[in-house]
């Protein structure tokens, strides 16, 4: 039986899918993480992954409309960070295909098709689920390095 863990802290955000909110989501994740003293590299990796996930909601989830983006961030005692980012947009017809490097449905706007690849490379785990017409959910985790021991 899988052990149920409880977060030591959690924050939930609901943002409209305005492009300006991509940087807000990235900054909110960074501020939330400061309580466990991440390294600059860890912070940079997480901010980049969050940016990609939120941008996907804005650009692909709600193509020509404004919808809501739901963000749930959790910290666990073992210095694990978990973030869930979801929308109730158009969904992804084929998640496996969408996760292939360079795959994009928005070639006319010069999208690179690297969003999921970037998330996968900067985080420890990435799980993407989607239902066409109902939205997409991205769950990412990253285990932060132990804090250095202070010798007295």
Which active-site residues does the annotation give? Answer: 52, 56, 111
* DSSP code for 111: -
Structure token digits, residue 76 = 């666990």
Which stretches of the chain are DSSP H helices?
20-33, 40-56, 95-98, 115-122
Q: Map residue 44 onto helix, strand or coil.
A: helix
CA 125, 74, 88 angle in degrees (round to 5)? 75
């Amino acid at each position: 039986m899988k052990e149920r863990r409880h977060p030591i802290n959690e924050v939930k955000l609901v943002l409209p899918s305005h492009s300006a909110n991509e940087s807000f989501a990235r900054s909110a994740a960074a501020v939330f993480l400061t309580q466990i003293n991440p390294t600059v590299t860890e912070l940079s990796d997480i901010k980049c992954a969050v940016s990609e996930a939120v941008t996907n909601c804005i650009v692909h989830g709600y193509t020509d409309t404004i919808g809501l983006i739901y963000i749930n961030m959790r910290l666990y005692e073992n210095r694990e960070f978990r973030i869930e980012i979801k929308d109730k947009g158009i969904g992804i017809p084929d998640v496996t295909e969408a996760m292939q490097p360079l795959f994009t449905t928005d070639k006319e706007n010069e999208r690179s098709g690297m969003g999921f690849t970037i998330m996968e490379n900067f985080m420890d785990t990435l799980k993407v689920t989607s239902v066409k017409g109902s939205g997409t959910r991205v769950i990412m985790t990253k285990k932060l390095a132990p804090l250095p021991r202070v010798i007295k």
